[in-house]
Amino acid sequence: MKKIFLLSFLMALFFSACSNSSSNENSIEKIKQQGIIRIGVFGDKPPFGYLDTQGKNQGYDVYFAKRIAKELLGDETKVQFVLVEAANRVEFLQSNKVDLILANFTKTPEREAVVDFALPYMKVALGVIAPKNSNIYGIDDLKNKTLILNKGTTADAYFTKNMPEIKTIKFDQNTETFAALIGKRGDALSHDNALLFAWVKENPNFEVIIKELGNKDVIAPAVKKGDQAMLDFVNDLIMKLEGENFFHKAYDATLKPFFSDDVSADDVVIEGGKI
């Protein structure tokens, strides 16, 4: 009886794996049949992914997403933007709620174990901001202070692993995180430095106190683990777009207005997946 049960269990796993493999292999054809691609983006992280005053998706990731839809379906409007949060990006891929994630997703070994990353299109490190005249100048000054973090971000992972002694408070959404800093619920905030460069320009009562912290990382599109068809399509497109200097144009259109003059496109973007 046990042997029969074990055999049935192994057969179920085999057919499930075959089904998932077949599903992944056909992902591009399914999207073409449906006539729309579902791409996960942020709705509250300007200038990378956000909703404008008319409720329309805007930002660097959105600019790229529209080009993906145009290449795949012949029309940049044939994309369904699915709003995600940092902590649920992996789950949305695994549960087939999206076909692709373009939500400022930093590539890390931990994430590579559960999703497949395409070639990178942006570089990033962590940064820290605080109110001006806060007397916080570096990491050592964060001791006995409260640091504000976004759940599921690389900043969250970095401080949890490397500096557990620092007191933190965490929020799901970017809007909550920055509102907490403005509301003085914490003394400083850590996030991707490119985002912080943009935020302090719009909020001059705050300043970047640490421009680079931890590893210099890359941001890349993410697909469901094993979805080779989608992975190949996105990689091929990123390499093709290098000939157009596409991501520099995307920078000029979406990021440059948000940054100060001391930040250049080459500080942020990657062309052709070449670091």
Within-domain flag for 25: no
Note the pLDDT of residue 25: 58
Question: Position of tokens 């959404």?
Answer: 173
Give per-residue pLDDT as tens, 19-45. Answer: 444 445 589 999 999 999 999 999 999
Alpha carbon distance 130, 11 (integer Å): 57
User: What is the structure's pLDDT at 275?
Assistant: 84
Task: Please report, for the domain that includes residue 96, its CATH number.
Answer: 3.40.190.10
Q: Residues 87, 42: one domain?
A: yes
Residues 210 and 246 both lie in one domain: no
Contacts of residue 119, defined as CB under 8 A and 6 or more positions apart, other chains included, come to 220, 234, 235, 238, 239, 272, 273
Strand order from edge to edge, sheet including 37-41: 79-83, 37-41, 100-101, 222-224, 115-117
> Are 91 and 161 members of one domain?
no
- Are residues 53 and 67 both part of a single domain? yes
Point out the least confidently predicted range of 6-15, 110-119, 155-164.
6-15
Instruction: Tell me the C-alpha distance between 98 and 217, whole Å.
Output: 24
User: CB of 156 within 8 A of CB of 170?
Assistant: yes
Gap between the Cα atoms of 198 and 260, Å rounded: 8
Non-local (6+) Cβ contacts of 192 within 8 A are 104, 106, 124, 125, 126, 127, 153, 154, 155
Would residue 14 count as lying in a domain?
A: no
Write the pLDDT tens digit of every residue in 170-213.
999 999 999 999 999 999 999 999 899 999 999 999 999 998 89
Per the structure, the count of domains in the chain is 2
Q: Does a structural domain hold residue 117?
A: yes
Domain end, chosen from 173, 194, 216, is at: 216
Q: Are residues 105 and 136 in the same domain?
A: no
User: Does 244 fall in a domain?
Assistant: yes
What whole-number distance in Å separates Cα of residue 33 and Cα of residue 99? Answer: 14
Please write the tens of the pLDDT for every residue from 68-127.
999 999 999 999 999 999 999 999 999 999 999 999 999 999 999 999 999 999 999 999
Residue 14 has pLDDT above 60, yes or no: no
pTM surpassing 0.85? no
Alpha-carbon distance 124 to 122, whole Å?
7
192 occurs within a structural domain: yes
Are 246 and 229 found together in one domain?
A: yes
191 & 55 share domain: no
Indicate if 112 and 136 belong to the same structural domain.
no
Same domain, 178 and 56: no
Domain of residue 239: give its range: 31-121+220-267
Share of the chain above pLDDT 70, in %: 91
Q: Is residue 141 in a domain? A: yes
Q: Are residues 184 and 74 part of one domain?
A: no
Same domain flag for 133 and 206: yes
> Mean of the per-residue pLDDT values for the chain?
91
Give the HSE-up count for residue 10: Cα atoms under 13 Å, Cβ half-sphere: 6
Asked if residue 199 belongs to a domain, the reply is yes
Half-sphere exposure of 41 (CA within 13 A, CB side): 25
* Same domain as 239, residue 188: no
Q: Residue 7 falls within a domain, yes or no?
A: no
